[in-house]
Amino acid sequence: MKKLSLFVLGVVFCFSASAQTRWAVDPMHSFVNFSVKHMGISFVDGSFRKFDGSLTAAKPDFSDAKVSFTVDVNSINTSVEPRDKHLKSDDFFAADKYPAMTFESTSFKKRSGNNYELNGKLTIKDVTKDVRFDVVFGGTAKDQRGGEKAGFSATTTINRLDYNIKYDPTGMGVSKDVTIRLNLEFAPAK
Protein backbone atom coordinates (compact mmCIF):
# COMPACT_ATOMS: atom_id res chain seq x y z
CA MET A 1 0.00 0.00 0.00
CA LYS A 2 2.84 2.37 0.85
CA LYS A 3 4.46 1.72 -2.57
CA LEU A 4 1.16 2.37 -4.34
CA SER A 5 0.71 5.66 -2.46
CA LEU A 6 4.23 6.78 -3.36
CA PHE A 7 3.60 5.81 -7.01
CA VAL A 8 0.33 7.79 -7.15
CA LEU A 9 1.99 10.76 -5.47
CA GLY A 10 4.83 10.60 -8.02
CA VAL A 11 2.43 10.47 -10.96
CA VAL A 12 0.44 13.42 -9.61
CA PHE A 13 3.65 15.40 -9.05
CA CYS A 14 4.95 14.65 -12.56
CA PHE A 15 1.60 15.58 -14.11
CA SER A 16 1.33 18.84 -12.20
CA ALA A 17 4.96 19.73 -12.91
CA SER A 18 4.40 19.33 -16.65
CA ALA A 19 0.87 20.77 -16.75
CA GLN A 20 0.58 23.60 -19.18
CA THR A 21 -1.64 26.63 -18.81
CA ARG A 22 -3.34 28.10 -21.85
CA TRP A 23 -3.71 31.87 -21.80
CA ALA A 24 -6.08 33.78 -24.09
CA VAL A 25 -5.59 37.36 -25.27
CA ASP A 26 -7.84 39.93 -23.60
CA PRO A 27 -8.96 42.09 -26.56
CA MET A 28 -10.23 44.88 -24.28
CA HIS A 29 -6.71 45.46 -22.97
CA SER A 30 -4.63 44.58 -26.04
CA PHE A 31 -3.57 46.42 -29.19
CA VAL A 32 -2.10 45.46 -32.57
CA ASN A 33 -0.47 48.53 -34.13
CA PHE A 34 1.74 49.32 -37.09
CA SER A 35 3.71 52.28 -38.36
CA VAL A 36 5.08 52.95 -41.85
CA LYS A 37 7.05 55.91 -43.16
CA HIS A 38 5.23 58.07 -45.72
CA MET A 39 7.18 59.92 -48.43
CA GLY A 40 10.31 59.65 -46.29
CA ILE A 41 9.22 62.53 -44.06
CA SER A 42 6.49 61.33 -41.68
CA PHE A 43 4.71 58.22 -40.46
CA VAL A 44 1.26 56.74 -40.92
CA ASP A 45 0.11 54.78 -37.89
CA GLY A 46 -2.66 52.24 -37.86
CA SER A 47 -4.10 49.31 -36.00
CA PHE A 48 -6.15 46.18 -36.40
CA ARG A 49 -9.22 46.13 -34.18
CA LYS A 50 -10.07 42.42 -34.40
CA PHE A 51 -7.59 39.73 -33.44
CA ASP A 52 -7.30 36.59 -31.37
CA GLY A 53 -4.34 34.94 -29.74
CA SER A 54 -3.21 32.47 -27.16
CA LEU A 55 -0.09 31.24 -25.47
CA THR A 56 0.54 27.98 -23.70
CA ALA A 57 3.24 27.60 -21.06
CA ALA A 58 4.17 25.37 -18.15
CA LYS A 59 6.86 27.63 -16.65
CA PRO A 60 5.78 30.67 -14.60
CA ASP A 61 8.28 32.91 -16.46
CA PHE A 62 6.74 31.82 -19.83
CA SER A 63 10.18 30.85 -21.16
CA ASP A 64 8.62 27.74 -22.74
CA ALA A 65 5.62 29.54 -24.25
CA LYS A 66 4.02 28.57 -27.55
CA VAL A 67 2.23 31.51 -29.17
CA SER A 68 -0.52 31.53 -31.78
CA PHE A 69 -2.11 34.70 -33.17
CA THR A 70 -4.61 35.68 -35.86
CA VAL A 71 -5.47 39.18 -37.13
CA ASP A 72 -8.59 40.08 -39.10
CA VAL A 73 -7.25 42.14 -42.03
CA ASN A 74 -10.65 43.74 -42.63
CA SER A 75 -10.41 45.40 -39.20
CA ILE A 76 -7.56 47.68 -40.32
CA ASN A 77 -7.93 51.27 -39.12
CA THR A 78 -5.76 54.27 -39.97
CA SER A 79 -8.49 56.82 -39.13
CA VAL A 80 -8.87 57.61 -42.85
CA GLU A 81 -11.63 55.55 -44.47
CA PRO A 82 -10.43 55.87 -48.12
CA ARG A 83 -6.92 54.77 -47.07
CA ASP A 84 -8.33 51.83 -45.11
CA LYS A 85 -10.32 50.78 -48.18
CA HIS A 86 -7.17 51.02 -50.32
CA LEU A 87 -5.19 48.94 -47.81
CA LYS A 88 -7.84 46.18 -48.05
CA SER A 89 -7.56 46.17 -51.87
CA ASP A 90 -5.33 44.01 -54.06
CA ASP A 91 -2.69 46.79 -53.98
CA PHE A 92 -1.96 45.83 -50.36
CA PHE A 93 -3.65 43.05 -48.34
CA ALA A 94 -6.22 41.67 -50.84
CA ALA A 95 -8.51 41.22 -47.84
CA ASP A 96 -11.29 39.56 -49.86
CA LYS A 97 -8.95 36.72 -50.79
CA TYR A 98 -6.72 36.74 -47.67
CA PRO A 99 -8.89 37.89 -44.74
CA ALA A 100 -6.45 36.86 -41.98
CA MET A 101 -2.80 37.22 -41.04
CA THR A 102 -1.42 34.50 -38.78
CA PHE A 103 1.57 33.93 -36.53
CA GLU A 104 2.78 30.63 -35.03
CA SER A 105 5.78 30.64 -32.74
CA THR A 106 8.75 28.34 -33.15
CA SER A 107 10.61 29.48 -30.02
CA PHE A 108 10.32 31.86 -27.08
CA LYS A 109 13.65 32.45 -25.36
CA LYS A 110 14.46 34.49 -22.30
CA ARG A 111 17.41 36.79 -22.99
CA SER A 112 17.86 38.68 -19.72
CA GLY A 113 15.58 40.12 -17.08
CA ASN A 114 12.16 40.58 -18.64
CA ASN A 115 13.48 40.62 -22.22
CA TYR A 116 12.64 37.74 -24.53
CA GLU A 117 13.07 36.78 -28.17
CA LEU A 118 10.02 35.35 -29.93
CA ASN A 119 10.62 33.57 -33.24
CA GLY A 120 7.98 32.19 -35.53
CA LYS A 121 6.20 32.04 -38.86
CA LEU A 122 4.23 35.09 -40.00
CA THR A 123 1.77 34.59 -42.84
CA ILE A 124 0.46 37.58 -44.78
CA LYS A 125 -1.49 36.94 -47.96
CA ASP A 126 0.00 33.79 -49.51
CA VAL A 127 3.50 34.17 -48.04
CA THR A 128 4.93 32.71 -44.83
CA LYS A 129 8.25 34.03 -43.52
CA ASP A 130 10.35 33.65 -40.40
CA VAL A 131 10.18 36.69 -38.11
CA ARG A 132 11.68 37.66 -34.77
CA PHE A 133 9.91 39.82 -32.19
CA ASP A 134 11.67 41.59 -29.33
CA VAL A 135 9.40 40.99 -26.34
CA VAL A 136 9.23 42.61 -22.92
CA PHE A 137 7.34 40.63 -20.28
CA GLY A 138 5.50 43.16 -18.10
CA GLY A 139 4.78 40.59 -15.41
CA THR A 140 1.61 39.20 -13.91
CA ALA A 141 -1.01 40.77 -11.66
CA LYS A 142 -4.49 40.17 -10.28
CA ASP A 143 -7.35 42.19 -11.73
CA GLN A 144 -10.23 43.73 -9.70
CA ARG A 145 -12.05 40.37 -9.65
CA GLY A 146 -9.01 38.38 -8.57
CA GLY A 147 -8.30 36.96 -12.02
CA GLU A 148 -4.71 36.57 -13.10
CA LYS A 149 -3.35 38.61 -16.03
CA ALA A 150 -0.01 38.58 -17.85
CA GLY A 151 1.29 41.47 -19.94
CA PHE A 152 3.67 41.58 -22.90
CA SER A 153 4.82 44.07 -25.50
CA ALA A 154 6.32 42.80 -28.76
CA THR A 155 7.97 44.66 -31.63
CA THR A 156 9.31 43.68 -35.04
CA THR A 157 9.96 45.26 -38.42
CA ILE A 158 9.10 43.50 -41.67
CA ASN A 159 9.66 44.32 -45.33
CA ARG A 160 6.16 44.46 -46.83
CA LEU A 161 7.50 43.52 -50.28
CA ASP A 162 8.47 40.10 -48.84
CA TYR A 163 4.73 39.42 -48.40
CA ASN A 164 3.62 40.32 -51.95
CA ILE A 165 2.46 43.79 -50.89
CA LYS A 166 3.85 45.34 -54.04
CA TYR A 167 2.21 48.79 -54.13
CA ASP A 168 4.94 51.42 -54.64
CA PRO A 169 7.81 48.90 -54.89
CA THR A 170 10.40 51.70 -54.81
CA GLY A 171 9.36 52.64 -51.29
CA MET A 172 9.42 56.34 -52.18
CA GLY A 173 5.81 57.01 -51.18
CA VAL A 174 5.19 54.12 -48.78
CA SER A 175 8.26 52.68 -47.09
CA LYS A 176 9.13 49.03 -47.58
CA ASP A 177 9.70 48.63 -43.83
CA VAL A 178 6.69 48.35 -41.52
CA THR A 179 7.08 48.35 -37.74
CA ILE A 180 4.61 46.15 -35.87
CA ARG A 181 3.94 46.76 -32.17
CA LEU A 182 1.72 44.59 -30.02
CA ASN A 183 0.68 45.45 -26.47
CA LEU A 184 -1.00 42.33 -25.16
CA GLU A 185 -2.71 41.28 -21.96
CA PHE A 186 -3.55 37.60 -21.44
CA ALA A 187 -5.76 35.77 -18.96
CA PRO A 188 -5.93 32.02 -18.27
CA ALA A 189 -8.29 30.48 -20.83
CA LYS A 190 -11.55 29.07 -19.53
3-state DSSP call for residue 29? helix
Question: Is 59 among the domain residues?
Answer: yes
pTM of the model: 0.86
Three-class SS state of 2: helix
Q: Please indicate, yes or no, if residue 110 is contained in any of the structural domains.
A: yes
CA dist 43 and 136 (Å) reads 24
pLDDT at 144: 87
Distance CA 102, CA 188 (A): 21
Asked if residue 92 is part of any domain, the answer here is yes
Radius of gyration, alpha carbons of the chain? 20
CATH at residue 55 = 2.40.128.110
Q: What is the pLDDT of residues 111-123, one digit of tens each?
A: 999 999 999 999 9
Residues with Cβ within 8 Å of residue 134, at least 6 apart in sequence: 115, 116, 117, 154, 155, 156
Type of residue at 98 = Y
- What tens digit of pLDDT does each residue of 69-78 get? 999 999 999 9
**Cβ–Cβ < 8 Å for 134, 117:** yes
Asked whether the CA dihedral 134, 138, 142, 144 is positive or negative, the reply is negative
8 confidence band (pLDDT: 50, 70, 90): very low
Residue among 61, 118, 132, 127 nearest 94 (CA): 127
Has residue 13 been placed in a domain?
no
Q: Does some domain include residue 136?
A: yes
Yes or no: say if 173 and 39 are a contact pair by the CB < 8 Å rule: yes
| Residue 3 counted as domain residue | no
Q: What is the pLDDT of residue 178?
A: 97
- Domain hosting 100: range is 20-188
Residue 4 within any structural domain of the chain: no
Which whole number is the average pLDDT over 43-58? 96
pLDDT tens, residue by residue, 117-174:
999 999 999 999 999 999 999 999 998 888 899 999 999 999 999 999 999 999 999 9
Contacts of 166 by beta carbon, 8 Å cutoff, 6+ apart: 91
5 within domain boundaries: no
As a whole number of angstroms, the distance between CA 167 and CA 189 comes to 39
